[in-house]
């Protein structure tokens, strides 16, 4: 089945607030396109947008969009920025990467809960694999995992965690198996040379499971 804009928007409509969608990207363009379409979906549905930007991941998305001749400045998007130096969007909090994850997470959780107190959001999480690359012990790793799990069921957000599967799977502590346990929905983005597919591995909607939704990049860019 070929993916269409209406199909994607229907999927996003049916995703509940409080859910955590894990997107495992194995392509060179999946993260960029997913971010772009989540942002546009939120705008069309009148929803606020919060992006977690780890180590300038949003800057890379913006540059990749420019390469695809899609202009997006994210000027109306709230951003919680972890590390990095490139300022994209409306930055509501800057959180340095601390040697103690407990300190970092306390600052992040306070900033996120302050944002969520103001309404409902589409929450896009970028660069999670970069954060986990700093984890040096099981304690640090599971402290971050527990924090992510703590946001599950938060009715102020639909959360989309986009992770580079090729990078994450090589880390000392690969977060993917634990994130898959937490996630309410899991999908893979696979492909190359402008063609690919989306496959749902875990979903409350059984009709999506193990169905291949075909992506043709040239067509998607014209939505």
Identify whether 222 is part of a domain. Answer: no
Residue 58 in domain: yes
pLDDT digit string, tens, across residues 4-47: 889 999 999 999 999 999 999 999 889 999 999 999 999 999 99
Residue 22 lies in a domain: yes
Q: Assess if residue 13 is contained within a domain.
A: yes
Q: Which domain holds residue 15?
A: 5-215
Q: Rounded to whole angstroms, what are the CA distances from 178 to 151, 189, 197, 200, 219?
A: 15, 19, 24, 17, 34
Per-residue pLDDT tens digits for 99-123: 788 899 999 999 999 999 999 999 9
User: Token digits for 139?
Assistant: 């304690």
Contacts with 130 (C-beta within 8 Å, 6 or more apart), sequence order: 54, 55, 57
Distance of CA 17 to the CA centre of its chain: 15
Q: What is the pLDDT of residues 136-188, one digit of tens each?
A: 899 999 999 999 999 999 999 999 999 999 999 999 999 999 999 999 999 99
Among 107, 45, 119, 37, residue whose Cα is nearest residue 78? 119
Strands lying side by side in the sheet with 195-202: 90-95, 78-82, 48-54, 121-126, 157-164, 20-25, 185-192, 195-202, 212-216
pTM for the model: 0.95
Domain annotation covers residue 221: no
- Per-residue pLDDT band for 194 (boundaries 50, 70, 90) equals confident
Question: CATH number of the domain that 167 lies in?
Answer: 3.40.50.11570
- If one counts the domains in the chain, the total is 1
Does 66 fall in a domain? yes
Closest CA to 223 of 81, 38, 53: 38
Does 98 have pLDDT greater than 80? no
Q: Rounded to an integer, what is the distance from CA 122 to the centroid of its chain?
A: 10
d(CA 173, CA 169): 8
- Say if 223 falls within a structural domain: no
Is 61 within 8 Å of 188 (Cβ atoms)?
no
Can you name the residues that pair with 25 across neighbouring β-strands? 164, 189
């Amino acid at each position: 089945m070929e993916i269409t804009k209406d199909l994607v928007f229907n999927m996003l409509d049916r995703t509940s607030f409080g859910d955590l969608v894990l997107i495992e990207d194995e392509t060179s363009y999946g993260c960029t396109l997913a971010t772009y379409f989540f942002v546009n979906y939120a705008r069309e549905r009148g929803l606020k947008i919060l992006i977690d930007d780890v180590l300038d991941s949003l800057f890379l998305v913006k540059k990749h969009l420019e390469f695809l001749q899609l202009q997006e400045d994210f000027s109306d998007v709230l951003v919680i920025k972890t590390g990095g130096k490139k300022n994209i969007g409306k930055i509501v909090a800057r959180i340095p990467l601390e040697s103690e994850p407990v300190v970092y997470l306390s600052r992040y959780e306070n900033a996120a809960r302050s944002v969520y107190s103001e309404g409902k959001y589409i929450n896009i999480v970028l660069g999670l694999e970069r954060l986990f690359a700093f984890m040096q012990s099981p304690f640090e790793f599971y402290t971050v995992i527990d924090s992510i799990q703590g946001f599950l069921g938060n009715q102020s957000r639909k959360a989309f965690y986009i992770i580079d599967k090729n990078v994450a799977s090589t880390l000392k502590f690969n977060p993917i198996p634990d994130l898959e346990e937490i996630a309410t929905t899991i999908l893979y983005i696979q492909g190359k040379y402008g063609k690919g597919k989306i496959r749902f591995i875990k979903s409350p909607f059984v009709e999506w499971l193990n169905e291949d939704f075909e992506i043709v990049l040239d067509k998607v860019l014209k939505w």
